[in-house]
């Protein structure tokens, strides 16, 4: 194969072009640029709390500070305490690890299944493509959360199970995105050129088409993590998530729900704000990227 063509579409040069585009974007896009920066800051902060919770959290998530049951926020307990004398601030900090872990793993899992299927289906076409598209469209059009509820209920609680339940519903997202792009990209001149110099199907697919899909996948991946965060939290809120003992925002909200009538606002408020902040971080990151890399994507 022609080495210059190969070099142009290598991952390293792609990354270079990507960074160049982003650094240029600073000048042309005002607000979008700052939205993305804000998103990055939020995501990095949350990643920090997930990896080093002990730096910020004064207690362990399971620590019970005797005699402080259902205490309102104070200097000792910034976010107050729950019904089991546990410090809610520490539980929120430690909870970021759980939800980020599940959301990342689920988004990763759905992308490594959805992307290759979309590539092959879009490239191959024919009956295989039609059937697969029909299956994916059916899942896509159905309320994802309800499907995830059915999966999670049957699999039972557990970190791996909830990750599987969340990942299943996002496979069609990647499939549809990648397939749609492949359908246009495979008609491009440079693909024809590659074919004319004797490149095989797998070379065309993975060396010429795939690198051009990555930018869009990056955007959708970020937005998808935001969605997966919401789904994970919803599943654990309705009691289908994780076994007791793992600090989890959705579950903490559902426990706090029973103390709401007596005016205990801190048990639900803070985990909820954490979910919003985290999902917002990934949404802003994704949307900032989208505006900069592919302004038309989100309008479709």
Partner 1 sequence: MKGLLRYAITRILMTIPMLFILLTIVFLVLRVMPGDPVSAMLGAHAPERVIEEKKEELGLNKPILVQYVNYLGQLARFDLGNSMVLKQRVSAPIKEKLPATIELTFWGMVFTLLIGVPLGAYAANKRRTGRDFGIRLYGNIAYCIPVYWMGLMLQLIFGVYLKWLPVAGRTSPRMLSSQFSKTGFYLFDTLLAGNMRAFNDVAIHLLLPSLTLGIVLSGIFVRLTRANMLDVLKSDYVLAARARGVSEKLVVYKHGLKNAFIPILTMLGLQFAILLAGAVLTETTFSWPGMGRLLMERIYLRDYPTVQGVIVVFALMVSVISLMVDLLYAAIDPRVKY
Stretch that binds partner 1, among 88-96, 105-113, 116-124, 230-238 (CB under 8 A): 230-238
**Cβ of residue 75: shortest distance to partner 1, in angstroms?**
24
Q: For partner 1, which stretch binds (CB under 8 A), given 8-16, 45-53, 74-82, 267-275?
A: 267-275
- The answer to the question of residue 276 lying near partner 1 (CB under 8 A) is yes
Residue 75: exposure state from Cβ atoms within 10 A (0-12, 13-18, ≥19)? exposed
User: With CB under 8 A as the contact rule, which of the stretches 44-52, 70-78, 121-129, 143-151 interacts with partner 1?
Assistant: 143-151
How far apart, in whole angstroms, are the C-alpha atoms of residue 15 and residue 231?
31
Nearer CB in complex with partner 1: 173/210: 173
Binding of residue 260 to partner 1 (CB under 8 A): yes
Q: Is 41 in the site for partner 1 (CB under 8 A)?
A: no
Are 166 and 228 contacting, i.e. CB atoms less than 8 angstroms apart? yes
Token pair for 114 = 């959805």
Residue 293 CB, nearest approach to partner 1 (Å):
17
Residues 207-226 that bind partner 1 (CB under 8 A): 226
Pick from 114, 122, 144, 247 the residue near partner 1 by CB under 8 A. Answer: 144
Q: How far apart are the first and last CA of the chain?
A: 37
Q: Please report, for residues 31, 207, 225, 226, 292, the alpha-carbon distance to residue 219 in angstroms, rounded to integers and kept in the order given.
A: 17, 20, 10, 11, 10
Give CA separation, 103 vs 60, 109, 148, 165, 231, in Å: 23, 10, 13, 11, 9
- In the set 19, 41, 112, 150, which binds partner 1 (CB under 8 A)? 150
Could you tell me the sign of the dihedral formed by the alpha carbons of 87, 88, 89, 92, in that order?
positive
Residue 139, H or E segment: helix 126-141
* Choices 18-26, 78-86, 209-217, 266-274 (CB under 8 A): range interacting with partner 1: 266-274
DSSP letters spanning 280-299? HHHHHHHHHHHHHH-TTGGG
Binding positions for partner 1, rule: CB under 8 A = 31, 134-135, 137-139, 141-147, 149-151, 153-156, 226, 230, 233-234, 237-238, 250, 253, 256-257, 260-261, 263, 265, 268-269, 272, 275-276, 279-280, 283-284, 287, 298-299
């Amino acid at each position: 194969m022609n080495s210059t063509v190969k070099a142009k579409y290598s991952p390293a040069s792609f990354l270079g072009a990507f960074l160049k585009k982003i650094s240029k974007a600073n000048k042309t896009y005002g607000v979008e640029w700052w939205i993305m920066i804000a998103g990055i800051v939020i995501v990095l902060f949350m990643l920090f709390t997930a990896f080093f919770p002990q730096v910020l959290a004064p207690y362990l998530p399971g620590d019970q500070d005797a005699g402080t049951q259902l205490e309102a926020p104070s200097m000792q307990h910034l976010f107050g305490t729950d019904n089991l004398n546990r410090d809610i601030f520490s539980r929120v900090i430690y909870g970021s690890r759980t939800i980020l872990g599940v959301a990342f793993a689920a988004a990763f899992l759905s992308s490594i299944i959805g992307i290759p299927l979309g590539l092959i289906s879009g490239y191959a076409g024919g009956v295989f493509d039609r059937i697969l598209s029909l299956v994916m469209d059916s899942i896509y059009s159905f309320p994802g959360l309800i499907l995830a509820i059915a999966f999670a209920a049957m699999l039972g609680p557990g970190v791996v199970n909830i990750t599987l339940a969340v990942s299943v519903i996002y496979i069609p997202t990647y499939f549809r995105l990648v397939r749609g792009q492949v359908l246009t990209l495979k008609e491009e001149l440079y693909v024809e050129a590659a074919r004319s110099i004797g490149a095989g199907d797998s070379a065309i697919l993975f060396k010429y088409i795939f690198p051009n899909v990555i930018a869009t996948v990056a955007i959708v991946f970020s937005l998808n993590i935001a969605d997966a965060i919401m789904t994970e939290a919803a599943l654990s809120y309705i009691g289908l998530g994780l076994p007791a003992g793992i600090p989890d925002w959705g579950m903490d909200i559902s426990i706090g729900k029973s103390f709401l009538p007596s005016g205990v606002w801190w048990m639900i408020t803070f985990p909820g704000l954490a979910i919003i902040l985290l999902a917002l971080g990934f949404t802003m990151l994704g949307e900032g990227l989208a505006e900069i890399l592919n302004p038309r994507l989100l309008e479709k």
